Amino acid sequence: DPNSVLFDSESASFAIYTTETHELVGMAGLVHVDHVDRIAEFFIMIGDQRHRGQGFGTEATRLVLDHAFIALGLTSVRLGVFSYNPGAVRAYAIQFAKLGGARVVATVSGDAKAEVAADAGADYVLNYRAEDVVGRVLDLPGGGGADRIVDVEFGGNLAQSIKVLKPNGVLAAYASDAVLEPKVPFYQLAYRNAAVRFILVFMLPEGLKARGVADITEWLERGELRHTIARRFPLRATADAHAFME
């Protein structure tokens, strides 16, 4: 559908929707398209949990790769972390924050995830299924509360996030699967002078993305980032890799 595609010289974004009801399922596409070296980076996001595991992502991946290799004539497409994979996001967010000098509190749902968070460098790891996370965060040594919150479930965690967010704090989120249309308590946020930021990396200003790339590249060159790899796939099996993630 031409009305569902956005193009510029360095990107191509496609809307994913059901053929029966035309319900929006997510987005997929290419960013950082380099027509000289003939490479690009692939992204995909399936928003609602109920649409995952039904093959939408697999089909979208095949179509976008066809566009990349056939229509654009690219020879290489890179595949990064899927934005809805909270475990991967958590592990890197912890490391980025620590490298930036932050004290990090990670919340997890089990022992295996706690081990990953601790290995990534979190100063405190709290199991939200077994502990009073709000109480623990507010009682942290040296002053409780959070200056910055990176949340993978905005609506589901909003009430708790507000309780621990310090005045002038920032709540950054990119997903809200449990509560698709959360009710926002305006005055609770206003009285904290809080900033709420919605993050979609491929829509960030180019200058901000360039700063992030530069920082990550420097950390990689120094060997300061650790990576947890569940499984490896060849490029020709990109669709299989997406199915594995689903």
User: Average pLDDT in the 104-130 region?
Assistant: 91
Q: In this model, does residue 183 exceed pLDDT 80?
A: yes
Question: How buried is residue 126: exposed, middle or buried, by Cβ count under 10 Å (0-12/13-18/19+)?
Answer: buried
Question: How buried is residue 140: exposed, middle or buried, by Cβ count under 10 Å (0-12/13-18/19+)?
Answer: middle
Contact between residue 160 and residue 182 where contact means Cβ atoms under 8 Å apart: no
Q: Would you state the pLDDT for residue 12?
A: 84
Q: Would you state the pLDDT for residue 80?
A: 58
User: Average pLDDT in the 187-215 region?
Assistant: 89
- Give 3's pLDDT tier (boundaries 50, 70, 90): very low
Q: Nearest CA to 27 among 54, 61, 68, 67?
A: 61
The residue with greater pLDDT, 49 or 58, is 58
pTM exceeds 0.75:
no
User: Average pLDDT in the 39-55 region?
Assistant: 78
Query: Of 19-23, 26-30, 149-153, 188-192, where does mean pLDDT reach its minimum?
Result: 19-23
- Give 9's pLDDT tier (boundaries 50, 70, 90): low
User: Average pLDDT in the 117-143 region?
Assistant: 91
Q: Would you state the pLDDT for residue 1?
A: 39
Residue 89: its H or E element: helix 86-99
CA 106 to chain centre: 16
Query: Of 22-26, 81-85, 169-173, where does mean pLDDT reach its minimum?
Result: 81-85
Q: In this model, does residue 63 exceed pLDDT 80?
A: yes
Contact between residue 146 and residue 136 where contact means Cβ atoms under 8 Å apart: no
User: Considering the chain, what percentage of its residues have pLDDT values greater than 90?
Assistant: 36
Contact between residue 40 and residue 34 where contact means Cβ atoms under 8 Å apart: yes
Q: Would you state the pLDDT for residue 221?
A: 92
Query: Of 70-74, 145-149, 211-215, 232-236, where does mean pLDDT reach its minimum?
Result: 232-236
Q: Nearest CA to 228 among 79, 111, 99, 89?
A: 89
Across the chain, the runs of DSSP E, i.e. the strands, are: 5-8, 11-17, 24-34, 39-46, 76-79, 105-108, 124-127, 146-151, 165-173, 195-198
Q: In this model, does residue 246 exceed pLDDT 70?
A: no
* CB atoms closer than 10 angstroms to residue 182: 16
